[in-house]
Chains A and B, each alone.
Chain A
Amino acid sequence: MNFWTDPIKLAFDGLMGLFSSWGMAADAAAVVINLLGIVGLISAVMVLDILLVWVERKVVARFQDRLGPNRVGPWGILQPFPDIIKLILKEDITPAGADKVAFNLAPILSLGSVLFLWAVVPLAATIYGVDLNVGLLYLVAAGAVGTLSIIMAGWSSNNKYALVGAYRMVANMISYEIPMVVALLIPTMLAGTMSIKGISDFQLEHGLFFFLTPLGALLFLISAIAELGRSPFDLNEGESEIVAGFHIEYSGMKFGLFYAGELLHAFTFGAFVGVLFFGGYAFPLPWGATNAFVAVFNVLFKGMVFYWVIMWVKYTVPRIRIDHMLAFNWKFLVPVSFTLLMVTAIFHSLLKDTGFWPYTLGMFLVNLIFGWLLLEMLRSRGRAEREQAEAPSTAAQAAHH
């Protein structure tokens, strides 16, 4: 155990020695050090969140052929700080008729539901909050708290636009939870564990899950985007109909908490895509397996890459109507996810003892064929619907002639 492989253990032992020399009992010192660790991790994540405000605005600007923030600091990188000052200085308004406790609790729960997630992200072989044996279910449970915060915000604002926005968002989140859980079952099945660290370590020996289940990764990414309520699933907002959705009545730093939570949520799901399907902390730089600093870099780097993918989708795809969104989930994603789960289970049990290359190539091929069949089915279905839609008009034209 040295500085490069396990800096946390080193810091723990150092602090333990320090506190013991002050005459603190070992139990109490361990509690204090763990609390310090929690505060440290949350602070680090929140500092990263400040940077994300700049990243988001700069990337959007590039997608929309603008310059983006470029006045404060080099490349506008200090822009979040004026933003924060503005948020803090704004008048904090609680609307008349609002339910005060629920109104003030909602933004805290919203950001909290994202921060909870960082407890189970394995940043390195030795740096992780806790190695839960139900890690993936914990991910879904934190999402449940997020859903709760949205319905609380929408209801307590005493504003019908906020309530309609919350209804839409909650319908969205509850629906897309199902394909997400099924998508999470695939890495669980392949690794034989629900522990996120276990899945991460498993990929170290057996290759990236992306090659075993590219469609599973895609399914997780789609349902994650829906869970985030980002475009094309951003029905919670709509300038022309319900304005800003469930957080319309929030001003100042309370709005800031929702905003920070949304950005951090997107980045966190990006990190989960990286950890669950792209080799955890030992990919793309293989030294991550032994060097804790490289490992943290790997996780954050992949988080940024997939955060970028989520932004790419957000600023490219227009939003869809709510009935289309629900139909897409219940009539397409849910059946597809269950079929994919069954297909993956069958071929996993058939191929897993055939050695590394036959197994990996076989699983990849199965996914390719599955995806191709799916596209063919969609194409023939689309053609049939188009013909049906065009048929009456051609009949009418024929009658006219």
Chain B
Amino acid sequence: MGAQILFFLCAALILISAIMVVTVRNLIHAALWLIATLFGAALLYASLDASFIAVVQVVVYIGAIAIMFIFAVMLTRRELLIKTDQTNANWPLALGLSAVMLVALGYVIGGFGVTLNTTPAAIPAGVDPLTLLGKALLAPEAYVLPFEVASVLLLAAMVGAVYVAMNKK
């Protein structure tokens, strides 16, 4: 029961702050609400015993990406308030697509046969999920190829960023 209460609290935090992200007119406030959303997701991961994902969520998304957002907004925009309309002519279409997506997700999740009283399966004693994750990321029969490809992609992006920012003589 406690886990369900925690889930609904996290879900409320995520949803309310997500709505605030897209509705507030001050861009820095939007970024701060985005941080609240990301923190709620981290709480959700932590409540599901995914401690590694939870901590990485905070380190990467709050510690790096959200801070970069704030920097970019502060350094590039003269006016922090958005005075134009926040929606464009496509909003009914977007609303319709979102509704279809909601129904589809609800259908899929309903198919799992999970009710509000379902308790999560316990992690067996002596199994460290973190060790398993680390080994899986570097095992040739598991995910070493996607892991390395993603690393090379990030490296390429970094080299590109340095090249773009480089002071060419």
Minimal Cβ-Cβ distance residue in A for B58: A141
Contact with A along B112-135 (1 / 0, CB 8 A): 000000000000000011100000
Asked if B67 is at the interface (CB within 8 A of a chain A CB), the reply is yes
- Contact string against A for B residues 57-69, beta-carbon threshold 8 Å, 1 for contact and 0 otherwise: 0110011101100
* Residues 141-169 of A at the B interface (beta carbon under 8 Å): 141, 143-145, 147-148, 151-152, 155, 163, 167
8 Å CB contacts to A: which residues of B46-88?
Answer: 51-52, 55-56, 58-59, 62-64, 66-67, 70-71, 74
| A151 partner residues in chain B, CB cutoff 8 A | 67, 70-71
Chain B interface residue count, Cβ-Cβ cutoff 8 angstroms? 21
B62 contacts A137, CB within 8 Å?
Answer: no
Contacts of A144 in B (CB 8 A): 58-59, 62-64, 67
For A155-186 the 0/1 string (1 means CB < 8 A from B) is 10000000100010010001001000000000
- Residue pair B32, A141 in contact (C-beta under 8 Å): no
B35 within 8 A of A: yes
B13 on the A face (CB < 8 A): no
Q: Check A137–B59 contact: CB distance below 8 A.
A: yes
B51 CB contacts on chain A under 8 angstroms: 132-134
Give Cα A72 to B70, complex, Å: 45
Q: B55–A177 contact, CB under 8 A? A: no
Q: Is A296 an interface residue (CB 8 A)?
A: no
**A194 touches B (CB below 8 Å):** yes
Give complex CA distance A152, B35 in Å: 12
B67: contacting residue among A99, A133, A138, A170, CB under 8 A: A170
The A interface is mostly helix, strand or loop, or mixed, namely helix
Contact among A99, A102, A143, A194 for B63, CB-based, below 8 A: A143
Give the residues from 84 to 99 in chain B that come closer than 8 angstroms, CB to CB, to chain A: none
Q: Specify which chain B residues have a CB less than 8 angstroms from the CB of A155 in the assembled complex.
A: 28, 70, 74
Tell me the complex Cα distance, A140–B61, Å. 13
Interface of B is mostly: helix
Please, how many angstroms separate the alpha-carbon atoms of A145 and B36 in the complex? 12
Q: In the bound complex, do residue B70 and residue A141 qualify as a contact, i.e. CB atoms below 8 Å apart?
A: no
Instruction: State whether A141 and B67 are in contact (beta carbons under 8 Å apart), knowing that A132-B51, A134-B51, A155-B74 are contacts in the complex.
Output: no
Q: In the complex the two chains form, what is the Cα distance from A207 to B20 in whole Å?
A: 52
**Residue tally, chain A, CB below 8 Å to B:** 23
Q: Could you tell me if A141 and B35 are in contact, using CB atoms closer than 8 angstroms? A: no
Chain B nearest CB from A135 CB (Å) reads: 9
**Chain A residues within 8 Å of B128, by CB:** 133
Given contacts A102-B32, A155-B74, is CB(A148)–CB(B66) below 8 Å?
A: yes
Cα A236 to Cα B124 in complex, Å, equals 48
Q: How far is the CA of A396 from the CA of B21 in the complex (A)?
A: 63
Please judge, given known A-B contacts A132-B51, A134-B55, A148-B35, whether A141 and B130 are in contact too, CB under 8 Å: no
A14 → chain B closest CB, angstroms? 25
Task: Name the residue on A nearest B28 (C-beta).
Answer: A155
> Which residue from chain B places its CB closest to the CB of A170 in the assembled complex?
B67
Chain B residues with Cβ below 8 Å from A137 are 52, 55-56, 59
Give min CB distance, A32 to chain B, whole Å.
14
A177 to B62, alpha carbons, bound, how many Å?
A: 14
- Is B59 within 8 A of A140, CB to CB? yes
Kindly provide the distance from the CB of B54 to the nearest chain A CB, expressed in whole angstroms.
Answer: 8
Q: Which residues of A contact B130 (CB under 8 A)?
A: 133-134, 194
Residue pair B52, A134 in contact (C-beta under 8 Å): yes
In angstroms, Cα B55 to Cα A132, docked, is 10
Docked Cα-Cα span, A102 to B32, in Å, equals 9
Complex contacts, A163 vs chain B, CB 8 Å: 74
Asked if B67 and A174 sit within 8 Å, CB to CB, the answer is: yes
Chain B residues with Cβ below 8 Å from A143 are: 63
Tell which of B28, B32, B62 has the most Cβ of chain A within 10 Å: B32
- Judging by beta carbons under 8 Å apart, are B67 and A147 in contact? yes
Given contacts A134-B51, A140-B63, A148-B62, 15 further A-B pairs with CB under 8 A are: A99-B28, A99-B29, A102-B32, A133-B128, A134-B52, A137-B52, A141-B55, A141-B58, A144-B63, A144-B67, A147-B67, A155-B28, A155-B70, A174-B67, A177-B63
Residues of chain A whose beta carbon lies under 8 Å from any beta carbon of chain B: 99, 102, 132-134, 137-138, 140-141, 143-145, 147-148, 151-152, 155, 163, 167, 170, 174, 177, 194
29 A-B pairs whose Cβ atoms sit less than 8 Å apart in the complex? A99-B28, A99-B29, A102-B28, A102-B32, A133-B51, A133-B128, A133-B130, A134-B55, A134-B130, A137-B59, A140-B55, A140-B59, A141-B62, A144-B58, A144-B64, A144-B67, A145-B58, A145-B62, A145-B63, A147-B63, A148-B63, A151-B71, A152-B32, A155-B74, A163-B74, A170-B67, A174-B64, A174-B67, A177-B63
